[in-house]
Amino acid sequence: MARRAVRQRGICGQGNTDFVSAGSGSHSSRSMRLAGHLYRQTSNEIIAKGKEIAAFALEASVSDISFTNGRFQIEGTDRALHLFDAAAAAVSGDLPDDLSGPLRSEIEIMDSLPAYPNGCHAVEVEIDRDTGVVTILRYSGVDDVGRIINPMLVDGQCHGGIVQGVGQALGEECTYDPESGQLLAGSFMDYHMPRADDVPFFALENNEVPAQNTFLGVKGGGEGGTTAAPPALINAIVDALSEFGVTHVEMPATPQKIWRLIHESDGKGQRRKTHF
Domain ranges of the chain: 7-107, 118-263
Share of the chain above pLDDT 90, in %: 52
Indicate if 118-263 has the same CATH topology as 7-107. Answer: yes
Q: What is the tens place of the pLDDT at every residue in 70-91? A: 999 999 898 999 999 998 988 8
CA 33 → CA 14, 70, 109, 117, 153, distances in Å?
Answer: 13, 24, 12, 11, 14
Cβ atoms of 87 and 3 closer than 8 Å: yes
Q: What is the tens place of the pLDDT at every residue in 184-199? A: 888 888 888 899 999 9
177 vs 36, higher pLDDT: 177
Indicate the pLDDT class of residue 26, thresholds 50, 70 and 90. low
> Please, which residues have CB within 8 angstroms of residue 215's CB and are 6 or more apart in sequence?
36, 37, 40, 41, 44
pLDDT of amino acid 13 = 44
pLDDT of amino acid 10 = 42
Indicate the pLDDT class of residue 101, thresholds 50, 70 and 90. confident
Indicate the pLDDT class of residue 107, thresholds 50, 70 and 90. confident
Indicate the pLDDT class of residue 19, thresholds 50, 70 and 90. low
Q: Which has the minimum average pLDDT: 54-63, 71-80, 122-131, 265-274?
A: 265-274
Does domain 118-263 fall into CATH 1.20.1050.10? no
pLDDT of amino acid 25 = 62
Q: From CA 91, how far away is CA 257, in angstroms rounded?
A: 71
9 vs 212, higher pLDDT: 212
Cβ atoms of 29 and 222 closer than 8 Å: yes
276 vs 257, higher pLDDT: 257
Helix (H, G, I), strand (E, B) or coil at 183: strand
Q: From CA 149, how far away is CA 218, in angstroms rounded?
A: 8
**At residue 40, what is the residue type?**
R
13 vs 89, higher pLDDT: 89
For residue 55, pLDDT beyond 60: yes
Query: Can you say whether the dihedral through the CA atoms of 82, 88, 91, 93 is positive or negative?
Result: negative
Question: Which of the listed CATH numbers 3.30.300.30, 2.130.10.10, 3.40.50.1220, 3.30.365.10 matches domain 7-107?
Answer: 3.30.365.10
Task: Indicate the average pLDDT of the chain.
Answer: 85
Q: From CA 228, how far away is CA 21, in angstroms rounded?
A: 35
Specify the DSSP class assigned to residue 32: I
Q: Which H helix or E strand runs over 203?
A: strand 202-206
Cβ atoms of 140 and 203 closer than 8 Å: yes
Cβ atoms of 166 and 247 closer than 8 Å: no
Q: Which residues pair with 176 in a beta bridge?
A: 183
pLDDT of amino acid 94 = 85
CA 185 → CA 55, 181, 193, distances in Å?
Answer: 68, 12, 11
